[in-house]
Amino acid sequence: MRIGVIALQGNVEEHVDALSRVFDGEVVKIKHKGIVPSCDAIVIPGGESTTLCRLAWSEGIAQEIIARAHAGMPILGTCAGLILLASRGDDEVRKTGQKLLGLMDTTVDRNAFGRQRESFEAALELPFINNGPFDAVFIRAPAIISAGDGVEVLARLDDFIVAAKQGNIVALAFHPELTNDTRVHEYFMEIVKNQSEN
């Protein structure tokens, strides 16, 4: 199996490391079009969502991700990745001109936690992991502010949704790749294995 990490910008190496610890197949970095179609799953890391969006579309990677997602390919999006996956951003307010991938029926606020809480950690109870809460690292974190019926809410913090799943797509407002705890990546690999057996 082959997992791709979108490597246009952001926390790429950290995801590659985390995946390598829980998965013995191939992990590839995706900078150009032509690779996504051969991947069994992809990870969209955190970074700066406007830059990520712009590059994903201009490189032709966004179009490939959308096509594979419609065919059931699992995707893990963290932080800025959660923004890209959404259908609705906060463009109305901030006029960022972001063109999102629209793969989840979610509305996101790209800086939900504001300047006061630029970066923080929270112990999150996640329904898919055992053995205690997950130490979630939030950095200029976005959040899902509303979600359609097809979206399963996995975790909330304050009034926000910070982890959600729709079909084979998982979006997290935090950075599981920045801790040594690999339980979130293990969970994602379960989804990937189940999909490949179908």
CB 109 within 8 A of CB 75: no
142 binds ligand GLN, rule: CB under 6 A? yes
CB of 131 to ligand GLN, least distance (A): 26
Question: Has 66 been labeled as part of a binding site?
Answer: no
Residue 139 as a binder of ligand GLN (CB under 6 A): the answer is yes
Residue from the set 2, 33, 88, 140 that interacts with ligand GLN by CB under 6 A: 140
| Residue 32 phi, psi dihedral angles, 5° rounding | -135, 165
The residue assigned the tokens 């590839």 is 28
The verdict on whether residue 38 carries a ligand-binding annotation is no
- Under DSSP, the state recorded for 160 is E
For ligand GLN, which is the closer residue by CB, 149 or 159? 159
Closer residue to ligand GLN in complex, CB, 71/98: 98
49 marked as binding residue: yes
Query: Could you tell me the smallest distance in angstroms from the CB atom of residue 63 to ligand GLN?
Result: 21
Nearest to 147 by CA among 108, 89, 91: 108
What secondary structure letter does DSSP report for 151?
P
CB contact at 8 A, 134 and 116:
no
Cβ closer to ligand GLN: 83 or 100? 83
Alpha helices in the chain (DSSP H): 12-22, 49-58, 61-70, 80-85, 91-94, 183-197
Q: Which is nearer to ligand GLN, 36 or 83 (CB)?
A: 83
Strands 104-109, 134-139: pairing kind: unpaired
Considering only residues 93 through 132, tell me which ones interact with ligand GLN, judged by CB under 6 A.
110-111
Distance CA 36, CA 126 (A): 29
CB 8 within 8 A of CB 31: yes
Interface mask toward ligand GLN for 42-81; x: CB under 6 A: ----xxxx-----------------------------xx-
Question: Binding-site residues for L-glutamine, please?
Answer: 47-49, 110, 139-140
State the residues that interact with ligand GLN by CB under 6 A: 46-49, 79-80, 83, 110-111, 139-140, 142
Which positions are annotated as active-site residues? 79, 175, 177
